[in-house]
Structure 1
Amino acid sequence: MSLKELYKGTKLIETIENYALAEEVNSINEGITNDESIWFSNDEEFWKNIIADPIKYWNQKIDLYNFVISDWVARVPGLYWTPSSEKIRQHKKEDIALQSKHWLEFYPPGKSKKVMGGVGTLLLPPTDEGKVLLSVSAGCNASTGVPLLCFPEVYDHLKLKQGDCVMIRDAKWLPMDMNWSSKFASTKDIPRGYLVIDSVDKIQVLDRNYPVAYHPFSLMEYEYQDSLFYDFVYVTADSKVQNVDTEIERFFKEYAKKEGRNGEYLLNPNIVNPIFQSHYLSPTELTQASEKAKLNLLYERIRGACFKEQSIEQLVIKLPQHYQSSVSIRTLAKKIGVNVSLLVEDSAVNMSSQLIDLCIKKEMIETLVDRVTVDYPQIFI
């Protein structure tokens, strides 16, 4: 059992927690605005600047040119562009189930790598006021794009739809009022924001009917060799394909049953109109009191499947190889919220064992793993 299982378990739990809050999208109060607009030419340029200096860009006017609209929004917008995500997405030969000149199909662990590295999208319903959360991407890829909050009067007047190529002018980059799980270091430092399109002069349709790639995803609980496993599953969808929802549904159904997996999907990526059967059809189901106990049991099953003794032993070995002093171990403990006074001064090897033991007792092992992934992502590849 490798350290990859520990990291995957961490991301599974984080995704479920974030999914439960996916519909809670509202603007917060605006602050001071810089009158000059900043222009970005592509998704990567936008996100790398935003992630590097989030405070600089809040309430800043942004211009984008030749970006294409998608109805779908990345599972965690911007995650695709972090340095650790690029490493996590890299696959190996053993991850590939089928390959042709034009496409690849991955085994479940291979698909998990891609989703943990930023591939995966959600289709969210409008707010009560009719505002719609979209994304725009210069690369026609919803997983890599920029969230856009569009007011109903703009959306309806311009008849905006997926595949429209647009120019954005003087749109403010504002924080979302979205309570994403903040305890996970790999995503808490990615600003939760969107460009606000509250008037027709902030968006111009340049052309229509562009193809858009998006990636409906889910979590699959399945059986393999008499054991229970959890993995992310996604499919690449092309907005130009006829009956694309039918094709997506067919893929998820077939993939769950392949190789005797007997899989069940836990989450549905299309919250507006679910396109395949899943245990939870919308985030609101996860917040109901009647589901809380079941959700806790699900977390325990994931921990049992991913946080196994062999993986913990690997973490005990690897941690002091990268955190080589008592000071670095104490710093790590502070970063994840563990009281450093609980650690007894000793060698890095012994103190790392103390820290891991404390995290197990406090059910914080996923927080520890996630923090280490930010510092040393190569450990989990």
Structure 2
Amino acid sequence: MIKNENEKLSPFHITVLVYMTQSGIVMFTLPRSLADFYGTNGWLFLFICFVISTFNIYLISLVYRLGKGRSIFEILESSIPKAVLYPVYFGMASVWSIFGCMIGKKYVLMFQMIAFPTTNPMVFKVGVDILLYLLLLKGIYNISKAATLFFWMTIWMYPLLLVFLPNFEWVRLTPFIFKGGHDMIKGGAEIYAAFLGYELSILFFPYVDKKKKAMLAIYAGNAFLTLIYFSLAIVCFGFFSLGQLKKLLFPLIDLLALIHFPFVERLENLLFGFFLFLILITVVMYIWAGLEAVTRITPKAKSPLFIFITVLVTFCIAIIPKTIDQVNAWITNLGYVVTGIGFGLPIILIIVLLIQGKGRESHA
């Protein structure tokens, strides 16, 4: 693996990496979910998700400050026997890796359905996993540089939302808030999954320059993602009626299909292809996080052979669900666990650090 111990993640790299990890497959269905579960002006729920995710990032920043930038694994292993931690590491690695591979599987199913309906979707999954393997070989610093490149390759798509402003009608937003929704608690958990990805920043501690404002960069990435989600959601709520939004399977793709240029046909297929770069970074980061956890069990986890085996295993697991509905069920259930890890792990680390601090004071 190509690795330079002197290279550190800059605040800009962290911001882009957090944003690229968060912005994934949920973007295609987010407006419909907001309309379905929260009804009129459902886009306002995004601000609730932003507050919750910001609080979670605050917990992560507390761990960073109390632990003085130490790796979370070092913090845990200094107080808890490794024999107890190994099953925990393996569990986290499994959840993160499978969650990432299911996100990739959903993208290839959508791509197959839109562009190549007669082709086996696993053919596309092979192509995605080859890119995944090559990125994982390079390590987190080079992944962040690739994420920055992909960021500049995709960010130009969002101004296309301005095309729909002439047909935007404020009356479609209505003065009512959260009317016509259902299962708000369950729906809220599913919609919150659109923000997941920032929690992996807790693994960045050994890779950041401690003289930089690394934690502020995580806040910035999350805030930028919220701005993108807000823009997309409010355009959809003002362009489509509430009834239309509830019926559209992929509102974002329906929006893209309405953009016409004289020199390009089926522009939505081209633009959908660019979203591969966003999905790829999301998948890479979750499997990278899994490898980071397994590395504490065996140092060989970062070898090319072990990475290849990991990608192969996740590919085999991705074969199990055959339809988008089945993949959605996997993503939803795993999303609950990932959310639990995202909140539970920083809380446990804070408790451990406070106990360690009291222990040092007593010893002194």
TM-score, scaled to structure 1: 0.22
More strand by share: 1
More helix by share: 2
**Larger RCO of the pair (alpha carbons < 8 Å, separation 6+):** 2
TM-score, scaled to structure 2: 0.23
